[in-house]
Structure 1
Amino acid sequence: MSTDYQRSRVLLGARLRELRTEAGLTVREFAAGCGWAPSKVSKLENGKQTATSTDLDMWAVRVGHPEYAVELRGRLAGLESTYRSWRRQLAGGHRAVQDALGAQHERTTTFRGFSAAVVPGVFQTPEYARSVLSRYAELHGVTRDVEAGVASRMRRQEGLYRSGRRYRVLVAEAALHTRICSRAVLADQLDRLMSVNGLTTVELGIIPLTAEVRIATGDDFWIHDDRLVIAETWHTEMWLDSADDVALYGKVWAGLANGSVTGRAAHGVIARARAAIGF
């Protein structure tokens, strides 16, 4: 069993435990209501056993929220997939998607990321994150659970203030101007981006529109240490862990970084975008 699969199973179990405790049920009470042995409940909650769709449907009914079955089945469907359909993932809600990313975040010391059209999630304000998640939810016809997704995304930002972490992030200048939110929200977001540019854990590179680049910008991606790449397309999120794939994305990142500006120069590009908003 892969480590990623097991970690995802543990996350599913933690969600099951959360729902049971919120319903005010002990393990024995819950098991009795389902006709299960208490040991089965414990194994599912601790990630020692993989739930079936029937188990998850029963769980949702037992905690008094049958509608949660969709979320739980979505989490189950995403356990092993390398190519993870956004529609299928979001069927489980935004929180499930963000929690899975958060689990990888906790395992990673050095991040190399690239974002072409929006400010990366790890730097987003809550209002900006809400706008981004809402727009993509509308695209895929799944608009529930946005607030839970925003909260989970905000928790990941705690890593910015932990010693030993390193965020090497590239952002295309176009992302500083993308009006995926209101002007006021974008202004606050750019203020936030300028502030994180000064953190000791962050190396922020901005790729100016006029930069000479070794490779054209493409889809957003994150390299987690040298073990995993998470890349996004319109319809799919790809989790790639082969040595060849990780090496390829490392070359792409280095090529993009060659055309970026950092430090005061990056701050200047962000400040000009901020001034253009007019607030």
Structure 2
Amino acid sequence: MSTDYQQARAALGLRLRELRGSCPGGRLTGTQLAERLGWTQSKVSKLENGRQTATAEDLRAWAEATGQPETYDELHARLNGFESHIRSWRRQLASGHRPVQDTWNALVAETSIIHGWENSMVSGMLQTADYARHVFIRYAELQKSARDTEDAVRARMKRQEWLYQPGKKFHIIMWEAALRALICPPSVLAAQLDRLAGVVGMDTVRLGIVPFGAPLKIPPADGFWIFDERLAITEDWHAELWLDDADSIGTYMRVWETLRESAVFGADAQRVINEAHRALG
């Protein structure tokens, strides 16, 4: 992920350097351009060397300062090309978690079948409001983002209405660790486990649990979601990765199918959930 992203950012930086060198009034040094823009020279250097991601405003200012405002559309298209696939948390959470939830709500609304894998926490589509609240608080602290916890919780709960629509299918597999991770008080986790037990048997939900003792063909790595086999989304600590090419989606579907072979369903899944509940004491 980071390699493709970095290569795209470096290519944009090279183009910015070309514009600085082809100013109609003559080539500008990095220091001269920084003075013209009111920036530090280090910012110009970082953008040109692909060590910082430009904003749309940065690109417009660059195009105008180098006397080539007509190049802005090209620069912005380059930015959109890799930002549409790599969505940094810094940018996404600038206004809080609610906008991110709204984006996901719109995506889910136009989807009929979702395949998901969670290795460390309960899937957002099945979270209780209290559990979701603690998740958002933890992430806001980590990312130092705006606090809009209650709005984010309401948006996530709104998305779960999709589970009660005829014709929808949610195929979700979770590692047993997701049932036991105390990212919230034990009482909240207990209620969350009750919620999970309650969705076993729903006609729109196929819930599988990979027990700790199950043999694994591949490591239970990062969580991901596949929407109608047209889009796959996974995430890291710094960004979400949105993949819409057939090869990548096919890879994630093979991963999902491989993990499914280690999962238990129905009464067996219920038993694993109950064991995790009892372990809370």
TM-score (norm 1): 0.71
Q: Is the Cα contact below 8 Å between 1:170 and 1:204 reproduced in 2?
A: yes
Shift of residue 145, structure 1, vs aligned partner: 1.0
Q: Deviations over 1:100-133 (max 9, x none)?
A: 0111101111110000010000000000000011
d(CA) in 2 for partners of 1:122, 1:202? 10
1:113 partnered with 2:119: no
1:181 partnered with 2:184: yes
Structure 1 residue aligned with 2:265:
262
Shift of residue 81, structure 1, vs aligned partner: 2.0
Runs of 4+ residues over 6 Å off in structure 1: none
Kindly name which structure, 1 or 2, has the bigger radius of gyration based on alpha carbons: 2
Structure 2 residue aligned with 1:125:
128
Q: Deviations over 1:201-233 (max 9, x none)?
A: 010000011111111111111000110011111
d(CA) in 2 for partners of 1:79, 1:120? 27
Matches within 5 A, 1:96-245: 96-245=99-248
For 2:211, give the aligned amino acid: P
Shift of residue 78, structure 1, vs aligned partner: 11
Matches within 5 A, 1:1-12: none
Structure 2 portions without partners, runs of 5+: 1-55, 58-79
Q: Secondary structure, in 3 states, of the residue corresponding to 1:137?
A: helix
Q: Secondary structure, in 3 states, of the residue corresponding to 1:169?
A: strand
Structure 2 residue aligned with 1:246:
249
For 1:216, give the aligned amino acid: P
d(CA) in 1 for partners of 2:220, 2:163? 25
Task: Quote the sequence identity (%).
Answer: 48
d(CA) in 2 for partners of 1:168, 1:119? 13
For 1:275, give the aligned amino acid: R
Q: Is the Cα contact below 8 Å between 1:83 and 1:237 reproduced in 2?
A: yes
Q: Deviations over 1:120-155 (max 9, x none)?
A: 000000000000111011111114111111111000
d(CA) in 2 for partners of 1:179, 1:136? 14
Q: CA RMSD in A?
A: 1.8
d(CA) in 2 for partners of 1:106, 1:118? 23
How many corresponding residue pairs? 205
Structure 1 portions without partners, runs of 5+: 1-52, 55-76
Shift of residue 198, structure 1, vs aligned partner: 2.2
TM-score (norm 2): 0.70
Shift of residue 92, structure 1, vs aligned partner: 2.2
For 2:180, give the aligned amino acid: H
Shift of residue 157, structure 1, vs aligned partner: 0.3
